Structure 1
């Protein structure tokens, strides 16, 4: 530590800019010329109030010794190694906010610039950006009667999360105090009395602040869904990020009930009705001002209403097909499908496989001033002003089939049917295609060739299926490797052969493996993309469908005509270094016998 005494200011024991830069020069990471040109204006503008890491990081310097960017994380690792203090990236999804915010007061934490990030029976872990300021350490150890474990963290992260954590905890505590029900929790009798509510006012400003924090936090964490789940002892908040659920926070049951009530009010849902499922939607804005739409769905459970919110970002509709994971050949074939003047184009896959995003992105491109695009959905996934959307209403017998029947009188060019679920809807889609309309719809099947079989199973005559279906696309979503930390390393030969069997595909040379870094929260994955299987209805396939050939014969014919199955599409993404074998195996069905 004595070697690195110059990096701190002896007056207040805080890190100082000039000694830190001088130490970087002394170790050969910077040239003296760069340091001299930087120091005078930087010291004048910072005026000693900005943390040195936050002044150095934006410069975009690279270490002359390692070639790495000298950012806050690099500086933290570099300094931490010298003074034997570990560097930690603060991941709010892994912190029990309720527990850590009770360790020290907000004022005390703000005074010393520290942030508790973990607590157990014997140890409290506290993050600091000032490793030489230690006067608080002995004092806290005596008060808490626990060992203090210090870690270094980004000063900007501490400044950001310090007020967020304590404000969140304060809102919850004040809401509970106002209700006078801190120790009261729901029980199994709510199955009978779900109409009863807690005493927390859904419009109380503490609850309003909690809901606002919940939305903004979900947006910054790239969540696709928000789950509010009432339990016996506490309500659980979980986010789905890149297809995986993460626990975020726990609140008392009365507060959870109030949060759900507040969101139901915002979504114009029936606040008094708690015994039946409800659907709703609302619009809000992200921290950067973008408008976001949320689709709401409630479900009665043993301990109260559960609420799930699906987040729809309109920005996904302006992405090109390459950003969705389409290769050049996939995109060309898909465009060939949807540029037909009439016929049926089907998209298949399980829930959450990206079918809605694909269809909305396609319709957004097709909906020009000269084209009338209409949709029938249950429910409407996302409001889009460039085409006409109609929602199924089962309570008034407004079914998919009835909606399509109505749209046929509205002079449409392109119709999107949310899902073909029954014979009547299938018949109306067939009729629309026969009368000169392009129909896009979805089915739930494992692969593209099974969609044709499903239409036959619904009772559609084979000759109508063969004459109207233009093409079928099956799709899945896989997590993509984080570009910041992935490293070369492919699957084992036996695993690879099992994936591509019965095809003989050589082992990939450009495969990568997940590692984990700050950008991807140490998961090794960042974002998702699609795997696609395209089936074009050729003359021979139409003949097989018309003669009700066995599904295996239909698939074998499609494969002989160049169909790339999902597993090979996944193999291509692995070979391109975009994903891993483990991700592909999770979502790709086994080849039918």
Structure 2
């Protein structure tokens, strides 16, 4: 089998399972090839070092990378076609301390190709109703890879009225031609904070922030939600109430948070009849206030 055929098989396997990333990682005397799906890390195959190196060189050549550079980080993009559909891929490579090169390929799916399904339709209906609000802050939490961004995009796509939507992500995970999508680039001084300031000058009706990771981003998101924008984002928390504590931990004012939150959610992936589904718990603002009172908050 040629290197090209091996690569084609790997890419088609990732796309078939809606995987987000393809990893080509060096070991002592072989290369491990794995992918990330909604169910976590999955091993695809193990190849000899020579095959692994040839595969890396082939991908670098196809994506316009410097084949001779094996230590310094390289970033590139390429488009791959499967079944008449184009899939954009973001590629990064770097060498470790032993000068062994590794590579990660991120797959960017069009919104129509997400195909996310929900175990219980009621929570997603409540989320969609929240997205109809003209302002406020909606936050989803959950482990990496459970489809939080997909759920947010899905909810926005259900809106029947046209609204200006702008997203800031690191990186862009789902491509949507109907959304103005900005991507973080720290080398070009395009951080979340910088792009948020720029984004608000465009006066978007809906602002998607890929992830709230720090105090500055959290406070800007709250301010935007209180000044006439509907802000949707994700945070690291282990429950719906955990979202509340996480934002307080990032230094957000409690009074402001209580008034700006339109809804919070926590999502996991589960399997129902051998089919992967998103299991979303979602609390509207009223639901959240009731839960907070029950827990003495």
TM-score range, shorter chain: 0.7 to 0.9
Structure 2 contact 111–153 (Cα < 8 Å) conserved? no
Q: Could you say which residue in structure 2 is the equivalent of 1:364?
A: 157
Matches within 5 A, 1:222-261: 223-240=19-36, 243-261=39-57
Q: Which has the higher contact order (CA 8 A, sep 6+)?
A: 2
Secondary structure class of the residue paired with 1:407: helix
What TM-score do you get using the length of structure 1 for normalisation? Answer: 0.46
Q: Could you say which residue in structure 2 is the equivalent of 1:311?
A: 107
In our comparison, the structure showing a higher alpha carbon Rg is 1
Structure 2 contact 208–231 (Cα < 8 Å) conserved? yes
Structure 2 contact 168–196 (Cα < 8 Å) conserved? yes
User: Larger strand proportion, structure 1 or 2?
Assistant: 2
Secondary structure class of the residue paired with 1:459: coil
Distance 2:273 2:60 in 1: 37
Distance 1:428 1:242 in 2: 30
User: Larger helix proportion, structure 1 or 2?
Assistant: 1
Please, which of 323, 346, 358 is the counterpart of residue 139 of structure 2?
346
Root-mean-square deviation (CA, aligned residues, Å) is: 2.9
Structure 1 contact 257–304 (Cα < 8 Å) conserved? no
Q: Could you say which residue in structure 2 is the equivalent of 1:212?
A: 8
Q: Could you say which residue in structure 1 is the equivalent of 2:192?
A: 400
Residues 218-258 of structure 1, C-alpha deviations (whole Å, 9 max, x = no match) = 44566553221222222222344552544433333233123
Distance 1:381 1:414 in 2: 18
Secondary structure class of the residue paired with 2:174: coil
Secondary structure class of the residue paired with 1:214: helix
Matched, 1:435 2:183: no
Q: Could you say which residue in structure 1 is the equivalent of 2:118?
A: 325
Pick closer, same or farther for the CA change 1:451–1:239 going to 2, 3 Å.
closer
Q: Could you say which residue in structure 2 is the equivalent of 1:378?
A: 170
Secondary structure class of the residue paired with 1:476: strand
Please, which of 486, 511, 533 is the counterpart of residue 281 of structure 2?
533
Structure 2 contact 38–146 (Cα < 8 Å) conserved? no
Q: Could you say which residue in structure 1 is the equivalent of 2:272?
A: 480
Which stretches in structure 1 are left out of the alignment for 5+ residues? Answer: 1-167, 172-206, 483-526, 543-551, 559-593
Residues 362-386 of structure 1, C-alpha deviations (whole Å, 9 max, x = no match) = 2333496x31110001111132211
Which stretches in structure 2 are left out of the alignment for 5+ residues? Answer: none
Structure 1 contact 316–361 (Cα < 8 Å) conserved? no
Please, which of 237, 250, 273 is the counterpart of residue 458 of structure 1?
250
For these two proteins, the number of residue pairs brought into alignment is 296
Distance 2:164 2:46 in 1: 47
